[in-house]
Amino acid sequence: MTSTPTSDRGRLGLRGLVAAPHTPLTATGELALDRVAEQARCLREDGVIGVFVGGTTGEWASLTVAERQRLLEAWAPHRTELRLIAHVGHHCQRDAIALARHAGQLGAHAVSALLPSFFRPSDAAEVAAFQADIAAAAPELPFYGYHIPGMTGVTVPVVEQIAACLERIPSFAGLKFTDPDLHAFAACRRAFGAQCELIWGVDELLLSALPLGVQAAVGSTYNYAAPVYLRLLGAFERGDVAAARSEARTVTALVDALLAFGVLRAGKALMTLRGVDCGPPRPPVSPLRPAARRELFEQVRTLGLFAAGAAAPDRGAERRADTAG
């Protein structure tokens, strides 16, 4: 895919699922980038159209800038098969600028950045000013804001954020909307749906968001449960409400299990059932203990999560994870 001139804001025009991949680590917490190729293969086989690299699921805040650059370099060879969106957000604007420039040099399809959560912007003008310099470091790439107020604590109304960014940032293409506030999402769609791309980011509420015009979604559970969501999308498109609700119940049960065991640690553990050992999370998040991991795996197997469209569980990876735990 070639870059689109920013005169039309270069929107990606995404249609489908974009996974937020886990950053693979060794048992001692070092990058295990040799596993990225297998992650990419699994996602392609499952029908995922792109990757949002180095986001919340990718543990960006627990990685150094150099590690984040190496991670993106490992994903770059797969950009001909998967849309490559580089998350470059950082508390330090200068580090975010460096990451955006690096993403542009690698040929990513787009960059995205969340807002800082320690010193937070207090109004829409500060939001746009902070992100404008980041976007300018890769001016040939579409820039997507990353709205995740549950993590950043930023309370500036999102409609005001978008309006300010559209005015200030030539390459502003849209927003990754990771917020369960469907009313706010609908307001953004009404105000800016024709001007920018609003990408849904709350996996368990995908069915609720589809009637509001969602065309693409970014999520962590698409790493190992994409077939369920694709069946949900297919049922919605053909008007089969009962089938869509059935798939949504599976999604809800999956997310309930993740919440019970800890979303990040449980998600990384589940990757072994997909055949890719992504290792443990970095501190302060601790890995699942062996007994908890086995309980999680049994709960997920009862959902039939890997019954269709996914690789058989890697029992060897499970045993290695138990040993590491």
Residue 5 confidence (pLDDT): 33
> Does residue 257 surpass a pLDDT of 70?
yes
* pTM (whole model) above 0.85: yes
- DSSP-H helix ranges across 10-64: 36-46
Res. 320 pLDDT band, cuts 50 70 90:
very low
> Does residue 4 surpass a pLDDT of 50?
no
**What CA–CA distance (Å, rounded) separates 259 from 191?**
33
**What CA–CA distance (Å, rounded) separates 242 from 220?**
25
Highest mean pLDDT among 3-12, 88-97, 305-314: 88-97
Question: For residue 32, what is the domain's CATH number?
Answer: 3.20.20.70
Q: Give domain status of residue 279, yes or no.
A: no
Catalytic residue IDs: 146, 176
Residue 133 burial by Cβ neighbours in a 10 Å radius (0-12, 13-18, 19+): middle
Identify whether the C-beta of residue 41 lies closer than 8 Å to the C-beta of residue 81.
no
Q: Give domain status of residue 163, yes or no.
A: yes
Q: Give domain status of residue 287, yes or no.
A: no
Q: Give domain status of residue 69, yes or no.
A: yes
> Does residue 2 surpass a pLDDT of 60?
no
Phi (first) and psi of residue 224, to 5 degrees: -135, -5
Identify whether the C-beta of residue 198 lies closer than 8 Å to the C-beta of residue 218.
no
Residue of 186 and 1 predicted with greater confidence = 186
Count of domains in the chain? 1
The range of the structural domain enclosing residue 68 comes to 13-240
Q: Identify each DSSP E strand in the chain by its residue range.
A: 16-19, 50-53, 83-87, 110-114, 143-147, 172-177, 197-200, 216-219
Q: Give domain status of residue 312, yes or no.
A: no
Q: Give domain status of residue 133, yes or no.
A: yes
Mean pLDDT over 12-34 rounds to 97
Q: Give domain status of residue 318, yes or no.
A: no
| DSSP SS3 for 313 | coil
| DSSP SS3 for 50 | strand
Residue 9 confidence (pLDDT): 56
Q: 8-12, 83-87, 160-164, 303-307: lowest mean pLDDT where?
A: 8-12
Tell me the percentage of the chain whose pLDDT exceeds 90.
Answer: 89
Q: Give domain status of residue 215, yes or no.
A: yes
**What CA–CA distance (Å, rounded) separates 30 from 153?**
30
pLDDT in tens, 265-314: 999 999 999 999 999 999 999 999 999 999 999 999 999 886 543 333 44
Q: What is the mean pLDDT of the chain?
A: 92
Locate 245 and state its tokens.
């609700």
